[in-house]
């Protein structure tokens, strides 16, 4: 989402790796809105010609804990959380544990949210029927001067 210095949303875009070319409408409601309000307080300038692009991103990494330290130049990490997941052969999360948290603002997505999702059963290991992986939630911002 792109917000102005007053914290008002100017635009919003939803992307998914499942259907990379499919655009979905998005809106700022619930937890995202709460995070947006707290993110707007991090703005350092009072200029009306500055906008901040805020990205809420979830990543699933099978088997190995991802390295979340690398952001693009100009991006500021606002929050990050990594959860270790145990997923059964039906794609249901059977166990979840937060293994890392960083940033100034706590993410609004946790183990209860991850446990309500269903993962592709085809990702399960062939011998055990179960799978382990990591779900990472990142929130980062990038300020831009509008000319």
Q: How many helices (H) and strands (E) does the chain have?
A: 2, 6
132 neighbors 85 (Cβ within 8 angstroms): yes
- pLDDT bracket for residue 83 (50, 70, 90): very high
Average pLDDT for 99-112: 85
Q: In the 3-class helix/strand/coil scheme, how is 52-71 assigned residue by residue?
A: EEEEEEEEEEECCCCCCCCC
Percent of the chain with pLDDT over 90: 13
Query: If DSSP codes are grouped into helix, strand and coil, which group holds residue 42?
Result: coil
- pLDDT bracket for residue 21 (50, 70, 90): low
Least confident among 38-47, 57-66, 113-122: 38-47
Domain ranges in the chain?
A: 2-145
Beta partners for 137?
A: 58, 81
Residue 126 has pLDDT above 90, yes or no: no
Alpha carbon distance 103, 105 (integer Å): 6
Q: What is the pTM of this model?
A: 0.67
């Amino acid at each position: 989402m792109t917000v102005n210095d007053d914290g008002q949303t100017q635009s919003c875009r939803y992307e998914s790796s499942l259907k990379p070319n499919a655009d979905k409408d998005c809106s700022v409601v619930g937890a995202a809105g709460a995070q947006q309000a707290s993110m707007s307080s991090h703005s350092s300038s009072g200029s009306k010609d500055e906008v901040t692009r805020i990205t809420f991103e979830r990543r699933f990494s099978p088997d190995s804990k991802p390295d979340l330290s690398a952001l693009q130049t100009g991006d500021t990490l606002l929050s990050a959380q990594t959860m270790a997941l145990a997923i059964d052969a039906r794609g249901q999360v059977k166990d979840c544990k937060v293994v890392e948290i960083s940033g100034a603002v706590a993410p609004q997505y946790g183990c209860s949210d991850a446990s309500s999702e269903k993962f592709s059963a085809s990702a399960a290991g062939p011998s055990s029927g179960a799978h382990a992986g990591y779900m990472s939630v990142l929130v980062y911002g990038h300020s831009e001067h509008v000319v």
